[in-house]
Amino acid sequence: MILEALDLTKDYGSFRALDGVSLSIREDEFVSIIGPNGAGKSTLVNVLAGALRPTSGRVRFKGKDVHGIGPVGLARLGVARTFQLVHIFPDLTVSETIEAAVVSRLGRGPHLFASLAGDREVRSSALEVAELFGLADKRHTPSRHLAQGDKKLLDVASAFALRPEVILLDEPTSGVSTADKTGIMEILVSASRQMGLRAIVQVEHDMDIVFGYSDRIIALHQGKVLADAAPAEIRADTRLVDMVIGRRRPDPHLAS
């Protein structure tokens, strides 16, 4: 297993967002995490990415306990999540946004803007990523002027610029028109193959995207794993699908 969660809990005061979550991600898998609002999906991704410390439990990457290492340390080991840099630096161009991630990967963070201005290796690496994501012709455009679909691609491209082995995506197609969603996913999958990613984990609400691209689906409800199965098995259980998109209460016997 390349990435594992072992009996994770995460409490916010008296509210338990994750309640004994265990899962394993194998190499060459595309795994989708689904569930209704409040199921704990984003909390789980943030814990896996090192952005949140679990209240209890462990995360392992390639067999190594990475509990408490933090997102920067984990990214250096090979696990990255979407940066959302487009929202942090809206006036940076597409190239500059991707270059910021490259600078971080190369360990030149203290000299970020100097590196963006004159480092040939940084510029070359950023251009390569921009081309993979179809953003090369927009590389001089400030990110705030991009269409929503291109903003999403830029978010993902920034994470890919870290050259991770595993990438964690939190709703990569949210806020994007139905017509653009498949295009984004096709670019994402193609880029992952070309860059040699070993696994992709995404949180996604669009069930067409989930069923269309996942090797395996993990369904969460009220902080617990309700199901962990292949797409065909999940799709066949219409009651389970209704539960994870928020239509019904779960049958307590399903999780047992």
- Residue 3 CA to its chain's centroid (Å): 13
Query: Domains in the chain and their CATH numbers?
Result: 1-67+166-171+199-256 (3.40.50.300)
- Report phi then psi at 181, rounded to 5: -60, -45
Cβ distance 28 to 219 under 8 Å? Answer: no
**What pLDDT is recorded for position 106?**
75
pLDDT score, position 174:
85
66 in Cβ contact with 77 (< 8 Å)? yes
- Inter-CA distances, 109 with 31, 73, 143, 163, Å: 31, 13, 20, 16
Amino acid, res. 3: L
pLDDT tens-place string over residues 202-214: 999 899 999 999 9
At 239, list the tokens.
């009651």
Q: What is the per-residue pLDDT for 129?
A: 95
d(CA 33, CA 170) in angstroms, rounded, equals: 9
Q: pTM here?
A: 0.87
Closest CA to 206 of 229, 184, 230, 228: 184
Residues recorded for the chain: 256
Phi and psi at 69, nearest 5°, equal -75, -25
In tens digits, what is the pLDDT along the chain, a chain of 256 residues?
A: 999 999 999 999 999 999 999 999 999 999 999 999 889 999 999 999 999 999 999 999 999 999 888 888 898 899 999 865 667 688 899 999 998 888 888 775 555 555 455 578 888 999 999 999 999 999 999 999 999 899 999 999 999 999 999 999 988 888 888 888 999 999 999 999 999 999 999 999 899 999 999 999 999 999 999 999 999 999 999 888 888 776 555 555 544 4
Angle at 119 between CA 115 and CA 120, to 5 degrees: 155
Residue type, 41: K
The distance from CA 59 to its chain's CA centroid, rounded to whole angstroms, is 16
Q: Which tens digit of pLDDT belongs to each residue from 71-98? A: 888 988 999 998 656 676 888 999 999 9
What was the pLDDT predicted at 255? 47
